[in-house]
Amino acid sequence: MLALLHKKFSKKKHRHQYWVHPVLCTRLEMGQFYTLFYEIWKDESEFLKYFCMSLKSFDEMLYLLQEGICGLETNMRCVPPAERLVMTLR
């Protein structure tokens, strides 16, 4: 019984090994937004199929929401407004 109590109280808190996991570090080169979005953005009909809205509507929505989205950003781990909107729409 005493051994179990000692084990329970002597557990160290799990510390994270990474600030950002190495898989996420490749997001800018290999992430879906950075590879797929710009290819779809070039073709209006593909953009319409993928997002169920026109490119013009997307740009207008981004313009209207950009100020509010930018206000949420911090200096750490910030995600650009266009990428946030794409994640929300998908």
CA distance 39 to 68: 27
Residue 90 has what pLDDT?
A: 84
Please give the mean pLDDT across all residues of the chain: 77
pTM of the full structure: 0.61
Alpha-carbon distance values, 67 to 26, 61, 72, 80, 88 (Å): 27, 11, 9, 12, 16
Q: pLDDT tens, 50-80?
A: 999 999 999 999 999 887 766 655 555 677 8
Residue 48 has what pLDDT?
A: 92
Sole residue written with tokens 């799990």: 14
What does the block give as tokens for 25? 């570090």
State which of 46-50, 71-75, 81-85 shows the largest mean pLDDT.
46-50
Inter-axis angle of helices 55-70 and 81-89, nearest 10 = 120
Domain positions in the chain are 21-89
Residue 2 has what pLDDT?
A: 56
